[in-house]
Amino acid sequence: MKKRLLLMNAFSLILLSGCSDDGKVTDSDLALLKTTHPPAVLIDKNTKENLDLVQNIEHDVEKMKELYDVAVVKSNGDTLVAYKVKHLQRFHMKKIEKNMTKMLEEKYPDENFIVSSDYKIFIEAVELQEKMKNPDFTDKKAKKKLDKIIKLKNEMT
Amino acid sequence: MLKGKQSWVFQNLPVIAAAGVSGGPFEANGNLSEDFDVLHDDLWMGEDSYEKAHRILLEEAGQTALNKANVQKEDVQFYIAGDLINQITPSSLSARTIQIPYFGIFGACSTSMEGLALASFIVNYRGADYVLTGASSHNAAVEKQFRYPTEYGGQKPPTAQWTVTGAGAALISAKAAGPNLPVTTSATIGKVIDMGLTDPFNMGGAMAPAAADTITAHFKDMQLDPSHYDLIVTGDLGKIGQETAYELLTNNGLKIDREKFKDCGLMIYKEDQPVQSGGSGAGCSASVLYGHLLNQMKRGAYRRILVVATGALLSPLTFQQSESIPCIAHAVSIEMT
Amino acid sequence: MSKKGNKTPEQQQYEKLEQKHELKRPVLKNCIRAFWVGGLICTVGQAITYFYIYFFNFTEQTAGNPTVATMIFISMLLTGFGVYDRLGQFAGAGSAVPVTGFGNAVISAAIEHRTEGFVLGVGGNMFKLAGSVILFGVFSAFVVALIKTLLIIWGVI
């Protein structure tokens, strides 16, 4: 049943998008459909401790059994945690978000977390992580992009 | 001449000199399309509103009847017409066009037989040489007034009926201009019957008691047996109303051959047209009688028929104020001489 | 005369006789059709939501508005081409309950009364059917919001 749903979504997306411009399909294009498991990334301050920190955050969040995919992006100011909730657990979306925020803030009191279950935020986060693999993509640009995502997240209606 | 309680006998035998029938696109695809004189392939009929198209239908039917009888409209003394629209404006506006002294009548879908009975009465007593009578309805105009907009996607229950887009007009004359013409011999005027039904999507069920009452009264007044007629045809009872009326008549002790008991609303459309329970509207009985049935009589299929047009006398207002639906039926017997 | 209790014995007897001949609404068939058609309309809506999330800067939160507008636009076209009333006869509640049904109610009334002019016809009758949906929708939303506000003030939730 799950597979059929996935197929149906994929089909409608293909219908809607037609052929993508360069023909190259990246993870962010498919982030809605499949589990991507993106690695946690850091913008600025590429220190060992910071890298450990984001990886720990990602592990901690992934431990929650209601989720199936997590993307973490950390800059010096904010840490963005985007995640996808298992379909039937979507009824408890608010509770999951509350629990996660509580857990993260207790464990990492020094960090400022932005937590979102929105698909769009997830797609954007994965896209950002992909772009950062490119050495031409400067930290400044990355920071700007992250700020844009956070702004998008806070937009209501 | 009054006979019994509520029936007239026309001893001078008023002649149906000619009749004209017009219809819309849905009727053109129906069972009886060959019997229509004028058929339109568009509901608008070249007009800019459905109400105007409604008027055109009636005017065309009337004009066709006059042309067939080769009678000038100046020679016609009275014009009796009616329809279902507020203040029967399509009929009145057609009277403006045709310029014949005019009676506007309203009996909902029974208007056709009400008009025929009155016209025959006037002609029978030499009140006129020629009387033109007609009734009409237009699907979109009637639906707009009584139900929902035509494009509204509401689901109609299987008891609902489809309003006929059509008009029928007949010219009643005091003397026969030629042989092989049908005459009206008697008429029974019905009384309003209300059995407390309130569902406007089940007109047939509401009107059946009125039809049964008028038919019973007709046979009682005329002291006739149902076998006197080759066909007893109701106006627009539809599937449900017709079955119910037949049972009521049987309960009243009238033995009617089931094969000889028909309904205009069930004759006009094909089985596969999406009309739920059948056709309805003032134009239903008018177009089927003045077109198909008179043609059949001239061909010799029937010698004597009794036409019982039924009408539901509701308005959108009374229905919303949760009044029940009062109904009426008028019967006219037509014979070949 | 209209209330059941006020009916004369004669009327009640007739009602029983009439019921015997009355064709019943095929409730189960209608339910199944409504389920499939309603589901199909919602699938289209979901596809349009994903379309807006993917190709425009909309999040799950904000994609709702353009999706509704698009669905109503589609239903407007279908109503104008005379397809929606046939769909409605087939599907019943399936096509009436989604927002497309609301659009159809507004647009069909507007088309119907075009012959009476723009001001008295279209303007005066456009919300003939949908007006009560708007009125009672807004009113019940007000009542629910009032109850929620009171519950929050009293600390129940």
Cα C84 to Cα C67: distance, rounded to the nearest angstrom: 19
Cβ contact C59:A120 at 8 Å: yes
> Does residue B67 or residue A107 have the better pLDDT?
B67
Contact A64, A93 (CB under 8 A): no
* Residue B123 φ then ψ, to 5°: -65, -40
| A16 has pLDDT over 80 | no
Same domain, B41 and B151: yes
Look at residue A153 in the predicted model and tell me its pLDDT: 85
Put simply, whether B48 touches C (Cβ < 8 Å) is: yes
CATH number of the domain within which B65 lies:
3.40.47.40
**pLDDT for res A32:** 67
Phi, psi of B18 (to 5 degrees): -160, 160
**Partner-chain residue, chosen from B152, B196, B205, that has the shortest CB–CB distance to C11:** B196
pLDDT of residue A26: 66
Decide: A146 and A128 in contact? Cβ < 8 Å: yes
Name the token pair of C114: 């075009």
Q: What is the model's pLDDT at position A150?
A: 87
Strands (E), B111-191: 130-137, 162-163, 166-173, 182-188
Same domain? For B112 and B225 the reply is: no
Q: Report the domain count for chain B.
A: 2
In a domain, B1, yes or no: no
**Residue linked to tokens 């920071």:** A143
pLDDT at residue C42 above 70?
yes
The model's pLDDT over B286-312, given as tens digits with 9 standing for 90+, comes to: 999 999 999 999 999 999 999 999 999
The answer to whether A33 faces chain C, any CB pair under 8 Å, is no
Q: B7 in a domain, yes or no?
A: no
Asked whether residue A3 carries a pLDDT value surpassing 80, the answer given is no
Of the two residues B237 and A63, the one the predictor is more confident about is B237
Contact C87 B159 (CB under 8 A): no
Distance from CA of A145 to the nearest CA of C (A): 13
Q: Which of B145, B173, B201 is the last residue of a domain?
A: B173
Partner-chain contact A118 C55, CB within 8 Å: no
Q: Reply yes or no on whether the pLDDT at A7 is more than 60.
A: no
CB-CB contact of B79 with B38 (8 Å): no
Contact status, residue B293 vs residue B235, Cβ threshold 8 Å:
no
B305: closest CA among B234, B249, B230, B213? B230
pLDDT by residue (tens digit) across B250-269? 999 999 999 999 999 999 99
Predicted confidence (pLDDT) at residue A50 exceeds the cutoff of 90: no
Lowest mean pLDDT among A15-29, A95-109, B252-266: A15-29
Rounded-to-integer distance, Cα B311 and Cα C1, Å? 19
Q: What is the pLDDT of residue B149?
A: 86
Interatomic CA distance for residues B301 and B323, integer angstroms: 43
Same domain, B18 and B159: yes
What is the tens place of the pLDDT at every residue in B140-171? 999 999 888 888 888 889 999 999 999 999 99
**Residue-range domain boundaries for chain C:** 25-126, 131-157
Four-CA torsion B102, B103, B109, B112, nearest 10 degrees: -70
Tell me, what's the pLDDT at A45? 65
Average pLDDT over residues C139-157: 93
How far is the C-alpha of B31 from the C-alpha of B269, rounded, in Å?
5
Residues of chain A in contact with residue C59, where contact means CB-CB under 8 angstroms, are 118-121, 152-153, 155
Indicate the burial class of B120 (C-beta count within 10 angstroms; 0-12, 13-18, 19 or more).
buried
Distance of CA C35 to the CA centre of its chain: 14
For residues A74 and A52, what is the distance between their CA atoms, to the nearest angstrom?
12
Distance CA B203, CA C68 (A): 38
pLDDT band at A1 (very low <50, low <70, confident <90, very high): very low
Judgement on whether residues B144 and B191 belong to the same structural domain of the protein: no
Q: What does the buried/exposed string (b/e) look like for A60-93 if buried means 16 or more CB atoms within 10 Å of the residue's CB?
A: bbeebebbebbbbbbbeebbbbbbbbeeeeeeee
- Which residue range(s) make up the domain with B19? 14-173
Note the pLDDT of residue A58. 86
pLDDT 10s digits, B225-245: 999 999 999 999 999 999 999
What distance in Å separates the CA atoms of residue A128 and residue C108, rounded to the nearest whole number?
47
Q: Are residues B93 and B226 in the same domain?
A: no
Is B4 a member of any domain? no
- The answer to whether residues B168 and B204 belong to one domain is no
Domain assignment of residue B151, yes or no: yes
Radius of gyration of chain B (CA): 18
Q: What value does the mean pLDDT of chain B take?
A: 93
pLDDT at C4 over 70: no
* Contact yes or no for C22 and B50 at CB 8 A: no
Residue B223 burial (C-beta neighbours within 10 Å; 0-12, 13-18, 19+): exposed
Query: Mean pLDDT over all residues of chain A?
Result: 78
Q: What is the mean pLDDT of residues A68-92?
A: 86
Res B58 pLDDT > 90: yes
Per-residue pLDDT, B57? 94
Do A83 and A71 touch, CB atoms closer than 8 A? yes
What values do phi and psi take at B330, rounded to 5? -125, 140
Q: Which chain C residues are within 8 Å of A13, Cβ to Cβ?
A: 47, 50-51, 54
Identify whether residues B217 and B95 lie together within a single domain: no
Same domain, B194 and B160: no
| pLDDT the model gives residue A20 | 47
Domain borders along chain A are 2-154
A68 HSE (CA, 13 A, CB side): 13
CB atoms within 10 A of CB A137: 14
Q: Determine the residue among C54, C58, C157 to mutate to test chain A binding: the one whose Cβ has the most chain A Cβ atoms within 10 Å.
A: C54
Looking at chain B, the whole-number percentage of residues with pLDDT higher than 90 is 87
Give, in order, the Cα–Cα distances in Å from B172 to each of B127, B164, B330. Answer: 12, 24, 18
Q: Nearest CA to CA, how far is C62 from chain B (Å)?
A: 29
Task: Identify the pLDDT of residue A89.
Answer: 87
Helix, strand, or coil (residue A45): coil
Residues B94 and B205 placed together within one structural domain of the fold: no
In whole angstroms, what is the distance from residue C70 CA to residue C52 CA? Answer: 10
> Left, alpha or beta for A121 (phi > 0: left; psi -120 to 50: alpha)?
alpha
Which of A14, A87, A120 to substitute to test the interface with C, most C CBs within 10 Å? A120
Give me the percent of chain B exceeding a pLDDT of 70: 100
**Gap from C72 CA to chain A (nearest CA, Å):** 18
Q: Check pLDDT > 90 for residue B80.
A: yes
Residue B142 touches partner C, C-beta closer than 8 Å: no
**B194 chain-C contacts, CB cut-off 8 A:** 1, 11
pLDDT tens, position by position, B171-207: 999 988 778 899 999 999 999 999 989 888 899 999 9
Cβ neighbours of B247 in C, within 8 Å = 17, 20-21
How does residue A22 score in pLDDT terms, banded at 50, 70 and 90? Answer: low
Query: Which chain C positions have a beta carbon within 8 Å of A121's beta carbon?
Result: 59
Q: Is the pTM of this model over 0.80?
A: yes
Q: Which residue has tokens 């209606």?
A: A157
B91 part of a folded domain: yes
Reported as a pLDDT band with limits 50, 70 and 90, residue A27 is: low
